[in-house]
Amino acid sequence: MSDNLIEATAAHVQAAMSGEGSGHDWWHVWRVWQTAKRIADAELVEGFYVDTEVVELAALLHDLGDHKFHGGDMTVAPRMTREWLASLHAEADVIDHVAEIVGTLSFKGANVETPMTTLEGKIVQDADRLDAIGALGIARAFAYGGHKGRELYNPDIPPHPHDDFAEYSGSTAPTINHFYEKLLLLKDHMNTTYAKAVAEERHRYMEQFLEHFFKEWNGDDREG
């Protein structure tokens, strides 16, 4: 693996995403990067072959050109990935593999399948999804909701499982709805043994948060 390629990419992404306020900042990328490396190590221990260079590059580049900040355009991220890696003279097969992962890992709606075709893709997808749940996921959900000017919760707007990406990406629903439309669904969509185990605990934490949220919302947190 080319350490220089990884280091240059990390510096590039950090410069581009530092200080971003929606929860899709450099530190989100950094956490996904570190988690992806831990998952890759676990897969290697289990005897699977993992191209760790591809894993690290895809984890670092996965949110550069995020469709949420480019009008839902899913072509921006893989294009930016290709341009960056080509500028560093990365191998063509590495560029193709990383761009494929970056272009396909995003959640696209409750009823939309988003399968990854390679183990490297599954690892990065799991790492990204783990950062969307648990305490960090709660914090990021409300950071993004505030960034987009969304209500915390509105009992007159029920959660709605989306059937296609256009419907999902165009949603303006309150932040609490996002738990039921995405975050609580992620536990059952992890690919690797490591991620499935971590997701169980983070999922329970979100359930506990929602229980307390609704008790406080209804003013009955001292009852029972």
Is position 87 within any domain? yes
Report the pLDDT value the prediction gives residue 171, as an integer from 0 to 100: 74
Is position 191 within any domain? yes
Is position 13 within any domain? yes
Q: What is the mean pLDDT of residues 101-109?
A: 79
CATH of the domain at 170: 1.10.3210.50
Kindly provide the b/e burial profile for residues 45-57, where b requires at least 16 CB atoms within 10 angstroms of the residue's own CB: eeeeebbbbbbbb
Phi then psi for residue 198, to 5 deg, are: -65, -40
How many Å apart are CA 91 and CA 177, to the nearest integer? 42
In single-letter form, the type of residue at position 211 comes to E
In single-letter form, the type of residue at position 167 comes to E
Is position 113 within any domain? yes
Is position 223 within any domain? no
Rg (CA), the chain: 18
Question: pLDDT tens for residues 25-61?
Answer: 999 999 999 999 999 999 998 899 999 999 999 999 9
Residue corresponding to tokens 């305490």: 135
Total tally of structural domains belonging to the chain: 1
Where residue 73 falls (left for φ over 0; alpha for ψ -120 to 50; beta otherwise) is beta
pTM: 0.90
Range of the domain at 200: 3-218
Question: pLDDT tens for residues 153-194?
Answer: 999 999 987 666 666 666 788 999 999 999 999 999 999 999
Ranges assigned E (strand) in 32-186: none
Question: pLDDT tens for residues 13-22?
Answer: 999 998 887 7
Is position 129 within any domain? yes
How many Å apart are CA 173 and CA 149, to the nearest integer? 10
Is position 174 within any domain? yes
Q: What is the mean pLDDT of residues 69-88?
A: 83
C-alpha distances (whole Å) from 122 to each of 3, 40, 125, 130, 183 are: 22, 10, 5, 12, 18
Is position 213 within any domain? yes
